[in-house]
Structure 1
Amino acid sequence: MTMQLATRVSRHATRFSTQAAARSSSVAATRSAALAATQGPTRAAPEPVTNRRRWWQVAGGVALLALLAVQFGTGPFLDGLLAIRPWALALALVVTAGTTWCCALRWSLVAGWFDERIPVDVAFRAYYRSQLVNATVPGGVVGDVHRGWVFGWRPVLTERVIGQVVQIGLVGALVLPGAWRWAGLAALTPAVVAGGRVALMSVLSTSGHLLLFLVAAATVGVDLPLATLVPVGALVLLGSSIPLNLAGWGPREGIAALAFTTYGASAATGLTVAVTLGVMSTVATLPGLFVLPGGRRGGRQSCRRGGRRGGRRG
């Protein structure tokens, strides 16, 4: 059953990425033709660098994983797979549903800044779909690219930047030693309050991802105090956001090995926890299968209907 589910995810994600690329190429061709008709003959445009950049990202993730495998062997990878428990997967599904809703609400609120109307229910389904594609298609950002193409780039880019800034701020506070950690968190509080619901949703989302790391560490059986695991988990989350990855894999595992060594544990233990976290995170995106089919027209129409129902958003 697991192999069938994985095959279905891969098949849908590949078709999803191919359709998005074909539609993007069609739009680009149409715009180029219109420009040529109005401005006359022009020089051939340079070859797009998007695909090259994506393959460099994939190559970077593969290289990091290969380096870790050579350094530590396959043992930590296998241990991470064998450590997974049903209760941990169930909890990952619940927590990810909550973090996805937080991100969807943040996106919906940010869209209002640009006079765009993205109802929270539409945003919730689209965000699940985006996470599933990110977790199964090489590059780790294809889902966000499609989300921006369907619903508009400015809200997507803005809400992603806000999420990253808040996450970096939290990580910076959590890695501070001793009482300085609480001082750092206290210093962040006014900024979060000033940011309103958008900042609060970012904090809750990051906290949920950190909780998943703690669950993965508990599943593996890591014997470190919570005060140590929290900053380690914060560093791993920061590593997860590095785009040089293979569907999310690569930097997360490398940063985990380094962070666990820094805080007194073995690098192999960190790698094992990262593998467990990676599998849990991927499984937690599987509800996106139920909303995987989608296109630009359907997304825009849903937003227009939602906007008429809900009126203006603040």
Structure 2
Amino acid sequence: MTVLRGRIRPVLRWVVAVSLIGLVFFTVDTALLWREMARLSPVVFFSALAVTVVQVMVSAWRWRYTVSRLGLSLPYGLAVREYYLATFLNQVLPGGVLGDVNRAWRHSADSGQRLAALHGVAIERLSGQLVLAMAVVFAVVWLASNGHVLAVPFDRLWLLIIVLVAVIAGLFLVSRLSGRLADYLGQLRRDLRRSLLGWPALPVQLSSSLLLLASYLAAFLVLAQGAGYVHSVASLFLITALSVLLLLSMVIPVTVAGWGVREGVAALLWPLAGLPSEQGVALSVSYGVLVFVSGLPGLLVLLRGVKQRQPAQ
């Protein structure tokens, strides 16, 4: 039964992704959507693709820096190859994190330090999520202060705070009851301090993650500029703020590589900002294709590994 659930769950994620995309296409003007997507020329697409190379280079450097703070070695060239492989797997496997799990597992096999390798990947990704969370707050505040109505449940903020406090308190109590969990949490706390929260790790992590976030937004803006959506400073800020929220939607692990969720959020957000939903969906789909193409070098890494494992004939 457990094996059956394990096989059905990935299929369900694909079904959810396809269903959401179908629903989005059903609710928008498809003729207008195709016209919006046709605005993007190959020159624009490949310009945005060049930005994604910077993303991988910086991401690999951030990962290498994180694990070095934990006492592990990781050659930069290897980090780049492994990050491309993880990016590709995240694009084709359900959940969007299995590539990172594989990255941690492969590094643990090479280093012999399983827990440190796992923490290295988790903390490196956490660094990016913290910066994204801060950017989301700024984006929502900017959108609200400029008259764009967003359905943000500010009245439930206290409920969220109470839930977070309860979770933290629960973890504290469990750690007191379980010696092994207490030991693990203590190790996690030390690793977080060494590679993220301590000095000089914190400014280095925040700087690299800010650079990464800027590159993600730059890719969106290159596509938006190529489609003619950026025509003033105000439109530049608006597209940037909306793109931050699209990046947040891609973190939700209910489909494959954010497909469907990202397009659904775009279809909802753009009209709230006074823009046609077809523009948001077109930008979202174009970005999804861009991310997929940017991860294709990871397929070469995968095929190379398979070829190396094949016995000589």
The equivalent residue for 2:61 is 105
Counterpart AA for 2:274: G
The equivalent residue for 2:208 is 201
Q: What is the TM-score when the length of structure 1 is the normalising length?
A: 0.68
Deviation at 1:146, TM superposition (A): 1.7
CA distance, structure 1, for counterparts of residue 241 and residue 200 of structure 2: 23
Counterpart AA for 1:164: Q
Q: What is the TM-score when the length of structure 2 is the normalising length?
A: 0.68
CA distance, structure 2, for counterparts of residue 82 and residue 138 of structure 1: 29
User: Structure 1 residues 180, 294: closer, same or farther in 2, change over 3 A?
Assistant: farther
User: Structure 1 residues 192, 268: closer, same or farther in 2, change over 3 A?
Assistant: farther
CA distance, structure 2, for counterparts of residue 48 and residue 165 of structure 1: 36
CA distance, structure 2, for counterparts of residue 57 and residue 177 of structure 1: 33
The equivalent residue for 2:23 is 67
Deviation at 1:166, TM superposition (A): 1.4
The equivalent residue for 2:291 is 281
Deviation at 1:71, TM superposition (A): 1.4
User: Secondary structure in 2 aligned to 1:247?
Assistant: coil
Counterpart AA for 2:270: F
2:34 corresponds to 1:78: yes
CA distance, structure 2, for counterparts of residue 294 and residue 240 of structure 1: 29
User: Residues 107 and 156 of structure 1 are in contact (CA less than 8 Å); yes or no, is this contact kept in structure 2?
Assistant: yes
- Determine which structure has greater relative contact order: mean sequence separation of CA pairs < 8 Å that are 6+ residues apart, divided by chain length: 2
Q: What is the 5 A alignment of 1:90-239? A: 90-152=46-108, 153-177=118-142, 195-222=202-229, 225-239=235-249
CA distance, structure 2, for counterparts of residue 150 and residue 52 of structure 1: 26
User: Residues 45 and 223 of structure 2 are in contact (CA less than 8 Å); yes or no, is this contact kept in structure 1?
Assistant: no
Percent identical among aligned pairs is 31
Deviation at 1:287, TM superposition (A): 3.0
Counterpart AA for 1:149: W
User: Structure 1 residues 46, 250: closer, same or farther in 2, change over 3 A?
Assistant: closer
User: Residues 93 and 285 of structure 1 are in contact (CA less than 8 Å); yes or no, is this contact kept in structure 2?
Assistant: no
User: Secondary structure in 1 aligned to 2:142?
Assistant: coil
CA distance, structure 2, for counterparts of residue 69 and residue 268 of structure 1: 9
User: Structure 1 residues 206, 52: closer, same or farther in 2, change over 3 A?
Assistant: farther
User: Structure 1 residues 59, 234: closer, same or farther in 2, change over 3 A?
Assistant: same
User: Structure 1 residues 46, 227: closer, same or farther in 2, change over 3 A?
Assistant: closer
Q: What is the 5 A alignment of 1:30-49? A: 47=3
Structure 1 residues without counterparts, runs of 5 or longer: 1-44, 182-190, 299-314
The equivalent residue for 1:263 is 273
Counterpart AA for 1:215: V
Moved over 6 A (4+): 178-181, 191-194
Counterpart AA for 2:107: F
Counterpart AA for 1:54: P
User: Residues 36 and 227 of structure 2 are in contact (CA less than 8 Å); yes or no, is this contact kept in structure 1?
Assistant: yes
- Deviation digits for residues 143-189 of structure 1 (CA, Å, limit 9, x no counterpart): 222212211322112211221121111121133228979xxxxxxxx
Deviation at 1:271, TM superposition (A): 0.8
CA distance, structure 2, for counterparts of residue 77 and residue 125 of structure 1: 36
Count of residue correspondences: 245
